[in-house]
Structures are given as structure tokens and as C-alpha cells.
A and B are shown apart, each in its own frame.
Chain A
Amino acid sequence: MRSKKLMLIPALVLLSLVLIGFAYAHWSKTILISGEIETGKIDAIIIKWFCDDPPGTIDPGYDKDVASCECSIDTADPQKAYITITNAYPCYTVHFSLTVKNTGTIPIALKEVRVDGKVIPEQEWTPIDADNNGVNDLEFYMTNSLGEQVDPGKAVETSLDIHVMEGADPGATYTFTIEFDFWNWNEVP
């Protein structure tokens, strides 16, 4: 009888320890997920930019060299380019070609083209009042490029025409900004 009691005591102690241990501590295992997501980048530069009436050539559609246009790409920032049209006159129309290369890692597509913030629809002459005098002076026409997918390393060519309207004044200077807005291709319809 006594030896049975003695045997019960260590059993109770052990059970108590087990219960206490269970109450104050448990075994655990934590699973961690360490993630790294490297996003791609959208980047594009202008690699070609020219017009069909450089200085010293006959005006498009006519038999005289009256007006001329000069195109240049910013060497420090090839995302910028410049046009200068000189000695223009009503009905003068000049054609431009712009080639943009995808230098990023994500395919891109031309979402829209804007002139002074105004969206230029594709294949539709869009007049602009460049001097804000209530009379349109210039109009723009864009051809075949909206939505075209350009993979990394590839290039896309866009055509643009500028037409001097009857509302343009003699001896005037008009300035404007054309923006070609490229988006990640999957968000351009």
C-alpha cells in the first residue's frame, strides 16, 4: 500500500509538470514567405524624327521652295524632339515621321497623342488655335499607330501631318507641344 502511494506521487508530479508545461509553452513552427518582386520598367526614346520638307527642297505639293521644316532630337534627352517650320503660308502641309524605340522591359503601346493637351484622334484632321485668338491656325493629322504593341527592343513608326490653316497670320510665330503617350501594352485597348 505504501509503495503504491509512493509510485503515485512521481506520476502526479510528472502529470502536473506536463500540464503546466502545456499551459505555459507549446511547440511551434513558423513558416515565413520571403518575397521579392522586381517590376519591369516602361521606357522609350525617339530614334528617328524627320519631315519631308527639309531646307533647300521643293515644298510638298508645289513647285517652289518657300517654307521649310527642320527636325532634331534632343541629344541629352532623347525623349524630346523639336520641329521648326519657317516661312510657312496658308495651305502649307508637311509630313513628319517619328520612330520611337521601346527601351524598357515591358511591351508598350501608344495610348494617345496630344497637342497642347488636346487629344488628336487617329486619321482625323484636328485644328488647334495655337495663339488662342479664337481662330484655328494649325491642324494635325496622325496615322496608324494607336494601340500598336511595341515589344522591348523594338520600335514603332508614327506619321504626323501639320497643315497651316487660313486663320494663320502672316509674320506670326506659333509654338505647340506634341505628346506621344505610351502605356504598358496591356492597358491600351
Chain B
Amino acid sequence: MKSKMVAIFAALMVTLMVAGFAYAHWSKVVTISGTVSTGTFELEPSFKVTYPWEVPECEEMPLDDKKVAWMHWWIEDNTLYIWINNTYPCLTIGVTFDIENTGSVPAGLYKWTVTVDGTSYTIFDAEDIPGSIINPKMTEDEVEAALEKFVKGIAAGAVTVTVDFAGSNFWQIDPGEKPTVDITIHFEEELPEDKTYTFTVKLEYWNWNEVGYL
């Protein structure tokens, strides 16, 4: 009789232990609540005509006293549109172009292409630095000279430019920075008559840490 009771008690305990093992475990969870706020990536171009005089945005204005050549420019989204009409040899235009990093993450130049009358040229490609016309290891003078040579080459003597970065670093633009370039465009004697040139300059910037060379 006594041994039966002990057996029943033992069986009950074992059953409870097994049931406890099968249906529950003890646990404690420590929790971390996280918030990740990403930065902003914004670049804003701006443009100014400095010679012969200022041409306000969205206003069509002459570039000489006789009102022969005219210019009109505006910026829409991130695109600068420039229209110059009735140009002639010896006309000179001075412009200033800058890009301001209005975001919170540094920007690095990834690709710079120029398309003239449907033909594309790569000025710089972070994926093909040896094949680029300019590269980050060049001095500022070397970059300016390479760009001037490039324009001379594709314009076939019709247009020459002088480029002055004035110490600005276009390769990497940190938040709040605004690198500037001064460009003087001179139409040469070889400029063909009654001809229209169309060109597109495209500057592609990435977050600086992914361009690979900065």
C-alpha cells in the first residue's frame, strides 16, 4: 500500500516535469529599440553670367551693345539650360558655375560626360579612371588644361575656353560647400556661319563613399 502511494507520487512528479519540459521554457528577452535616420543627398547648381554683363535667369538679354547676340538661361530641377543665339567671331562670354551641396552627406563625382551634337564624350568615369580625360590625381592646373584642350579638340577651332576652378574641389563636395568654376568662352574666327550647336554636360555625383577613389 505504502509503495503504491510512493509510486503514484513519483509518477505525478515525473508527469509534471515532462509536461513542463514539453510546453514551456523560461526565458527573458532584452530589447533594443532602434532608429536609423538617413541623411539627405542634394546638389543644387547655380549659374551666373559675368561678362560682358550679368544676364538674369529667365531673361533674354543681348550680349553686346548692338544687341546682335542674345542669351537666355534658366535652371529647372537640377538642369541648367543655356541658349545663345546669333553668335559671331570674337564674341566673348564669361560665366560662373557652381554646385552647392545642400544635403547632409558628402558627394563625390562619379561620372562627367559631354554630348555635342549627338556625340558623347566621357570627361571622367570613376569606373574607368585611366580612360578618363581628367583624374583626381591631376593638379588643378592640369585639370583646367585638359578641359581646355578637350574643348579645343571637339570645337575644331571654332570655340576656345579658359577654365578656372579657383581652388574649388569638384571631386568631393561636402555638405555646405559650393565649389565654383569660372569659364570664359571665346568664339573664334573659324566659327561657322549659320550653324547650331547643341550640347549637354552631365555631372553625376554619388554619396562620396561609393565612388571608389575618394
Contacts and interface: CB of A to CB of B under 8 A. Distances in A.
Contact of B27 (A84, A138, A183): A183
B34 A91 contact: no
B209 A89 contact: yes
Contacts of A58: none
Given A91-B209, A162-B36, A174-B35, A43 B106 contact: no
Nearest to A169: B38
Interface of A is mostly: strand
A143 interface: no
A88 B28 contact: no
Contact of A187 (B25, B104, B209): B25
A46 B30 contact: yes
Contacts of A82: 32-35
Interface residues of B, number: 30
Contacts of A168: 36, 38
A83 B32 contact: yes
A170 B28 contact: no
A22 to B, nearest CB: 18
B207 to A, nearest CB: 5
Interface in B1-23: 2, 5, 9
A63 B207 CA distance: 14
Contact of A170 (B26, B34, B41): B41
A80 B29 CA distance: 9
Interface string A80-116: 1111111111111000001010001010100100000
A67 interface: yes
Interface string A103-138: 010101001000000000000000000100000011
Contacts of B28: 42-44, 79, 104, 108, 181-182
Interface string A22-52: 0000000001010000000111111001000
Contact of A175 (B5, B35, B207): B35
Interface in A50-82: 62, 64, 66-67, 79-82
A46 B210 CA distance: 36
Given A90-B207, A178-B32, A184 B103 contact: no
A182 B26 CA distance: 8
20 contacts: A44-B28, A44-B30, A66-B105, A79-B30, A80-B30, A83-B32, A83-B33, A89-B207, A89-B209, A111-B27, A170-B103, A171-B39, A172-B37, A173-B35, A174-B37, A175-B36, A179-B32, A181-B27, A181-B28, A182-B27
Interface of B: 2, 5, 9, 25-42, 103-106, 174, 207-210
Closest 4 pairs between A and B when the two form their complex, measured CB to CB: A87-B39, A83-B34, A178-B32, A42-B26
